[in-house]
Amino acid sequence: MSALLETRGLSISFGALKAVDNIDFSLQSGEIHALIGPNGAGKTSFVNLLSGRLMAESGEVLFDGRNLTRQPAYRRVRAGLGYTFQVTSIFAQLTVQDNVRLALERERSASAAEILSLLKSTGLEAHAFMPARDLAYGHQRLLELTMGLALRPKLLMLDEPTQGLADSEIEGFIALIREVSKTTTILLIEHNMQVVMALADRITVLERGRILAQGSPAEIRASEAVQAAYLGSKS
Ligand SMILES: Nc1ncnc2c1ncn2[C@@H]1O[C@H](COP(=O)(O)OP(=O)(O)OP(=O)(O)O)[C@@H](O)[C@H]1O
Ligand SMILES: [Mg+2]
């Protein structure tokens, strides 16, 4: 395995708050890497620095052999970085298939067959013509995932994709991510430890903008520092 993504000394502050504080991180091609940590730890800010929604104050973002630190978000998408947002960001008034079309047409024109095939991959094909706002919440999250997959990213970053899903929807989601991970490297921000432990090859724990621990699921489960900072209050 080789590093697909690497950050060196990556930092951003909001006023006096160091939301992401000098992070050295690397992610191997082919892995599912979970990013966990308490609320406000800096997980979303870190991913925003990777996607280009936020520009780094200092440090570097290296992806697939390129330095993307100063590149705007659309260039990073083009380089193969895909992402979904923590807060649902679909176009409610558009149909399901038009949402997917928009995601695809950020880059190029899309055929109906291609859109249908994407919707099939996430099990939404029966809902293609429905306005997105009429989808059940769990299906809206699946639509986001479909949109994140549309441009066939090399790395897909998912920010709390199971937030708000019913317990009965979690198993299906885990299976779907396993399927996606056969062709796509995944950075998964997730609070649900059942999902993290089921999916992650490696886990990074953030706390107050810094890396508190890193390791296999078994190592993280056994870490006392992690227990104290996070798992104790969540499991
Ligand atoms: N645009 C912003 N302006 C000011 N402060 C911000 C901004 N975005 C994030 N923060 C602050 O930075 C810190 C890290 O926030 P972030 O959203 O990255 O955490 P998180 O780990 O994603 O939390 P959660 O698990 O609740 O989603 C928090 O203290 C947050 O209030
Ligand atoms: Mg967040």
pLDDT tens profile 34-60 = 999 999 999 999 999 999 999 999 999
How many CB atoms are located within 10 Å of the residue 182 CB? Answer: 7
CATH code at position 208: 3.40.50.300
108 located within any domain = no
CA distances 171 to 165, 198, 225, Å, are: 10, 10, 29
Question: For the chain, how many structural domains are there in total?
Answer: 1
Q: Which residues contact 3 (CB under 8 A, 6 or more apart)?
A: 26, 27, 28, 29, 62
Q: Which residues contact 154 (CB under 8 A, 6 or more apart)?
A: 4, 29, 64, 80, 81, 184, 185
Which pLDDT score is estimated for 66? Answer: 96
Amino acid at 7: T
pLDDT category, 229, cuts 50, 70, 90?
Answer: confident
176 located within any domain = no
Which pLDDT score is estimated for 151? Answer: 87
Q: Give the range of the structural domain holding residue 23, as residue numbers without chain letter.
A: 1-80+156-166+187-235
Q: Whose CA is nearest to atom 28 of ligand 1?
A: 40
User: Which atom of ligand 1 approaches the CA of 46 most closely?
Assistant: 18
173 located within any domain = no
Interval between CA 17 and ligand 1 midpoint (Å): 10
Which pLDDT score is estimated for 231? Answer: 59
179 located within any domain = no
Pocket of ligand 1 (CB under 6 A): 14, 17, 19, 37, 39-45, 86
Q: Which residues contact 41 (CB under 8 A, 6 or more apart)?
A: 206, 207, 208, 209
Interval between CA 114 and ligand 2 midpoint (Å): 31
Amino acid at 165: L
Sign for the pseudo-dihedral over CA of 33, 38, 42, 44: positive
Q: Contact at 8 Å (CB) between 225 and 213?
A: yes
Share of residues in the chain with pLDDT > 70 (%) = 97
The answer for 64, left when phi > 0, alpha when psi is -120 to 50, beta otherwise, is left
Q: Give, for ligand 1, the residue of 10, 13, 43, 193 to mutate: max count of ligand atoms closer than 8 Å to Cβ.
A: 43
214 located within any domain = yes
54 located within any domain = yes
Pick the more confident residue, 1 or 36.
36
Amino acid at 32: I
Share of residues in the chain with pLDDT > 90 (%) = 84
pLDDT tens-place string over residues 161-183 = 998 899 999 999 999 999 999 99
101 located within any domain = no
Judge whether residue 3 has pLDDT over 70: yes
The structure tokens listed for 187 are 């950075």
71 located within any domain = yes
Which pLDDT score is estimated for 235? Answer: 43
